[in-house]
Amino acid sequence: MGGRGRPVTSLFGRLADGTEIHSWSLENGGTRMKVLSYGGIVQSLEVPDRHGRYADVSLGFDRIEEYVASSPYFGALIGRYGNRIGNGRFTLDGETYQLSVDDGENSLHGGADGFDRRVWDVEPFTEGSDVGLRLSYTSADGEMGYPGTLEMKVTYTLTERGDWRIDYEATTDRATVVNLTSHVYWNLAGAGSGTIEDHELEIAASRYTPTDPGLIPTGELAEVAGTAFDFRRAKPIGRDLRTGHPDLLAAKGYDHNWVLDKGVTAEPEHVATLRDPASGRTLEIATNEPGLQFYSGNFLDGTLVGPGGHTYRQGDALCLETQHFPDSPNHPSFPSTVLRPGQTYRTTTIHSFNS
């Protein structure tokens, strides 16, 4: 399938202060996506089913106002810290930092104005058989309570075979913590088409991190064997969702970090497969990160309306966020999220589509 060419931009809308937000359209290898300069948001991502019929498989909105007013991080880049930091506080090199608290008493996804709500610089590129966007944003020292000026470069690449690859890079001028991820809400049958409970999911993880009622990891790494959390062999997401496991009750479904068996790796390795048996659309994820947050769209409550007038209800999409573990700065036994001057934070996640 064709359509490869230089990414095309258009005006998507304006923020209240007049700032222009642009939409970038990219296509390669049969995958089409639209990306906003606001939050690096993937506004749509279209892939074909087994008959070649396209659907937008990521939840989004039509208008910038909706992203600003009520988006639960649809398609956004997440930082400085993906998922929660307990009490919005951590201590590094003897100094305690108080972060922006936006989820009960905890800090979620970088605080009240995280990277999902920032305007990124976007530069298009074509390189060999790849097309893509280079997004950059500098987060000021102290932004949302985090130490250090963080210079970030995130590259979205669509490859010749239609893979969407994300390369994250960051440097700092003071010791800090960083955990970047992407918050696409997937529904491989098409955004707004209904529940994802029939999607089959496989996660290459023998353990997960149980949480307290505020969804902060207790520090335990629990075995998935014999529990609803066992996705080592592909199974429908809905199969064990109503089994009454206390961790499922506490989170209203799946909203946990899986401890990937491969651990931190130099190169991206396969960690998960999501498949919609009806359409045949399949998403495979490879990463060098040690964790995967599987969130089954528990807090979608039927009040948000997407393109085409479809409402998004509980379980109408799921997120698979490659990351370091939540609250790592307060758990010395978890893989470290500390970044120091002179070091470069580098992680990669690849999304491969088939049908």
Residue closest to ligand BGC (Cβ): 72
Q: Which one, 24 or 312, has the nearer CB to ligand BGC?
A: 312
Identity of the residue, 165 or 183, whose beta carbon is nearer to ligand BGC in the bound complex: 183
322 forms part of the interface with ligand BGC (CB under 6 A): no
| Site size with ligand BGC, rule: CB under 6 A | 10
Indicate the residue among 191 and 215 with the shorter CB distance to ligand BGC: 215
**Closest by CA position to 172, among listed 155, 151, 153, 144:** 151
Contacting residue, 215, 318, 320, 339, with ligand BGC by CB under 6 A: 215
Q: How far apart are CA 223 and CA 272, in angstroms?
A: 17
The one among 43, 182, 293, 352 contacting ligand BGC by CB under 6 A: 293
Q: Is the peptide bond before 242 cis (omega within 30 degrees of 0)?
A: no
Amino acid at 73: Y
Residues labelled catalytic: 183, 321
Contact status, residue 281 vs residue 53, Cβ threshold 8 Å: no
Residue 321 binds to ligand BGC (criterion: CB under 6 A): yes
Closest distance of CB 50 from ligand BGC, Å: 30
Does 295 contact ligand BGC by CB under 6 A? yes
**The only residue of 299, 301, 308, 341 in contact with ligand BGC, by rule CB under 6 A:** 299
Contacts of 199 (CB under 8 A, 6+ apart): 187, 188, 189, 236, 237, 274, 275, 276, 318
In the complex, the smallest distance separating the C-beta of residue 7 from ligand BGC, rounded to whole angstroms, is: 28
Q: Residue 140 region, left (φ>0) first, then alpha (ψ -120 to 50), else beta?
A: beta
Closest CA to 96 of 111, 110, 86: 86
Number of Cβ within 10 Å of residue 85's Cβ equals 30
Select from 118-126, 277-285, 293-301, 341-349 the region that touches ligand BGC (CB under 6 A): 293-301
Nearest distance in Å: CB 165, ligand BGC: 21
Q: Which of residues 15-74 bind ligand BGC (CB under 6 A)?
A: 72-73
Give the up-direction half-sphere exposure of residue 272: CA atoms within 13 A in the CB hemisphere. 33
* Phi, psi torsion values for 69, nearest 5 degrees: -80, -40
Distance of alpha carbon 255 from alpha carbon 246, whole angstroms: 12
Instruction: Using the minimum distance from each CB to ligand BGC, give the nearer residue, 75 or 145.
Output: 75
Q: Is 255 in the site for ligand BGC (CB under 6 A)?
A: yes
Residues that bind ligand BGC (CB under 6 A): 72-73, 83, 215, 255, 293, 295, 299, 319, 321
